[in-house]
Structure 1
Amino acid sequence: MNQIRAAIVILLIFLWTFVLIPPHLILRKIAPSQKYRLPLLFHKGLCKLLRIKVVVHGKPSEVHPTLFILNHISWLDIPVVGSFLKGSFVAKEEVASYPLVGYAATLQETIFIARTRPSVRNHKDGMQEHLENGDSIFLFPEGTSSNGLVLQDFKSAYFALAEKHIADKPLLVQPVTLAYSRMDKMYMSRNIMKKIAWVGDEELISHVWEFLKSGKVTAELRFHDPVTIDSYDSRKHMAADCQLKIAEGLSRAMTHRPEPK
């Protein structure tokens, strides 16, 4: 039964994608300022099909642009974040070659980079151009996905963007904790998290298939207070502070505690 449902979901995802591509291309051409409107709808639909309930805590920045800093757990992060925020993702360059996924990512103006410091520096101008156009960016400074329970160290090179000024003002940076806290009515355990977290060299297709056969998931976005580089001595200190805030948010999410007021 689970396999039949998983197969139906895959079919519906393909249909949903192809239905939205033509109007998105048209809207991008006639109203460029609305280029994120249909991607937002697309990701909301994906979350429905994937049976992901997104719960939001805190207040997301309404300043455009904002650099949203998030921890990275799974391929599911994309529809979860994309269903609530408008902007462009920064993704590893291999994603561009994924069938259909790569094309869909391109339609959302995803910035593809190699996960190396020279590549991050080389693509900084491209990301800067997005920001100067008023486009927010979603950045995963771990550089890879984690196991969903513990963060990996944030790479300070990713925070070079924060040193730039937009319209003579420091770029607003908002750390956001992304957490998967429940599957069905069960609190998340290490074994259950393996169905969600996509880590290491695990094959994507097999991971997607196993997830589709599992249960309903609760995903949380916990927004922390925005900051700017002016509050720190260096981007290294900024990276460490954002990592600490997100790690504390992840701990609270996994133990079902509210954010402090």
Structure 2
Amino acid sequence: MSDTWYSEDTPPEPKPTGAGWLLFALRAVPFLLICGIGLVLLLLVRLVERPLCGERRPVTPWFQRTVCRAFFAISGIRLKVTGQPMRQRGAMVANHVSWSDIFTLSAPRAVFFVSKSEVAGWPGIGVLAKATGTVFINRNRAEAKVQEQIFRDRLLLGQTLMFFPEGTSTDGRRVLPFKSSLFAAFFAEDLREVLWIQPVTTLYRPPEGAEPRFYGWWGDMEFGAHLAKVLGTRRQGSVEVIYHAPLKVSDFRGRKELAAAAEAVVRGGMPWDFQQAR
């Protein structure tokens, strides 16, 4: 059964006009060049970083962060950051709105994303995800213990993980119930006393006059069409990243209680005009 979220009134993807296609090209081409240069430099640095530091990656995440900042400079989407990324060891959890969340959540702070295993095989995106140290997981209960060990290994290295407990992207106007399975790894005996979870709310505001769910990417929307729509828009909107106070893992009795608390905080960051029926 798919976890993909669908709405009853999914808006059609508007097709860019001639001017829109030109603007799309003017933005997409330089960004692809920056991505390519950043990837080459990252891989070259990784040749030295890997034998010296293994999976700790103290240097290469800065290439990812620079490329993500370039996305906002080129696209024209305004990025606002409220609050501070935590300094404690642990992970961040956020609501999932679109493919652009990768840029939105990487620009303010270097993080390592947790993604479904299928992404590793996607053309282009899979290569970038592997190069930047993404943690790939299988949503298979039989592999739960293996996945917990992978999480523990990364957390013990001091890496800050970022994942989306909803398990799917939405229209950006709601927060779906958080799945608690990925929270289990944080309760290992050697981790629960030192780890923190920081809830993060992302708020996408559309360009003036555009559909409120303009930046949302969900259901069966095609990536290419959505990318063309976003980058081919002359007047852009904005996205706000709200970093809430971190939650100490040891203050909670188990994964379900922690997941529920993090969900409540992320949902509480939504302004009243964003809230929709769950």
TM-score (normalizing by structure 2): 0.82
Change (3 A) 1:253 1:126: farther
Question: Gapped runs of 5+ residues in structure 1?
Answer: 256-261
Give the letter aligned to residue 152 of structure 2.
Answer: Q
Tell me if the contact between 1:47 and 1:53 (Cα under 8 Å) persists in the aligned partners.
yes
Q: Secondary structure at the match of 1:178?
A: strand
Pair 1:25 & 2:49 matched: no
Tell me if the contact between 1:164 and 1:170 (Cα under 8 Å) persists in the aligned partners.
no
Q: Give me the whole-angstrom Cα distance separating, in 2, the residues matched to 1:226 and 1:253.
A: 25
Pair 1:52 & 2:77 matched: yes
Q: CA deviation at 1:114?
A: 3.1
Structure 1 residue aligned with 2:177: 153
Structure 2 residue aligned with 1:232: 252
Change (3 A) 1:119 1:48: farther
Q: Secondary structure at the match of 2:91?
A: strand
Deviates most, 104-113 or 29-38: 29-38
Larger radius of gyration: 2
Pair 1:101 & 2:128 matched: no
Change (3 A) 1:208 1:119: farther
Structure 2 residue aligned with 1:137: 161
Change (3 A) 1:10 1:115: farther
Change (3 A) 1:99 1:13: farther
Q: CA deviation at 1:119?
A: 4.7
Q: Give me the whole-angstrom Cα distance separating, in 2, the residues matched to 1:205 and 1:62.
A: 36
Structure 2 residue aligned with 1:83: 107
Q: CA deviation at 1:227?
A: 1.0
Deviates most, 68-77 or 223-232: 223-232
Pair 1:171 & 2:190 matched: no
Q: Give me the whole-angstrom Cα distance separating, in 1, the residues matched to 2:254 and 2:22.
A: 53
Output one character per residue of 1:62-82: Cα deviation in whole Å (capped at 9) or x when no partner. 12x320011101001000101
Structure 1 residue aligned with 2:68: 43
Q: Secondary structure at the match of 1:154?
A: coil
Pair 1:9 & 2:27 matched: yes
Tell me if the contact between 1:113 and 1:120 (Cα under 8 Å) persists in the aligned partners.
no
The percentage of counterpart residues that share the same residue type is: 25
Output one character per residue of 1:219-260: Cα deviation in whole Å (capped at 9) or x when no partner. 1111111112221222111111111110010226849xxxxx
Give the letter aligned to residue 45 of structure 1.
Answer: A
Give the letter aligned to residue 259 of structure 2.
Answer: A
Change (3 A) 1:252 1:212: same
Structure 2 residue aligned with 1:202: 221
Question: Gapped runs of 5+ residues in structure 2?
Answer: 1-18, 50-56
Change (3 A) 1:237 1:157: same
Change (3 A) 1:140 1:34: same
Q: Secondary structure at the match of 1:251?
A: coil
Give the letter aligned to residue 19 of structure 1.
Answer: I
Tell me if the contact between 2:152 and 2:186 (Cα under 8 Å) persists in the aligned partners.
no
**Structure possessing the higher relative contact order (Cα contacts under 8 Å, 6 or more residues apart):** 2
Q: Secondary structure at the match of 1:123?
A: helix
Give the total of aligned pairs. Answer: 249
Tell me if the contact between 1:92 and 1:115 (Cα under 8 Å) persists in the aligned partners.
yes
Q: CA deviation at 1:21?
A: 1.7
Q: CA deviation at 1:213?
A: 2.0
Structure 2 residue aligned with 1:113: 137
Give the letter aligned to residue 91 of structure 1.
Answer: S
Tell me if the contact between 2:198 and 2:244 (Cα under 8 Å) persists in the aligned partners.
yes
Output one character per residue of 1:20-76: Cα deviation in whole Å (capped at 9) or x when no partner. 12221122233442121111111111222222221111121012x320011101001
TM-score (normalizing by structure 1): 0.87
Q: CA deviation at 1:100?
A: 1.4
Q: Secondary structure at the match of 1:33?
A: coil
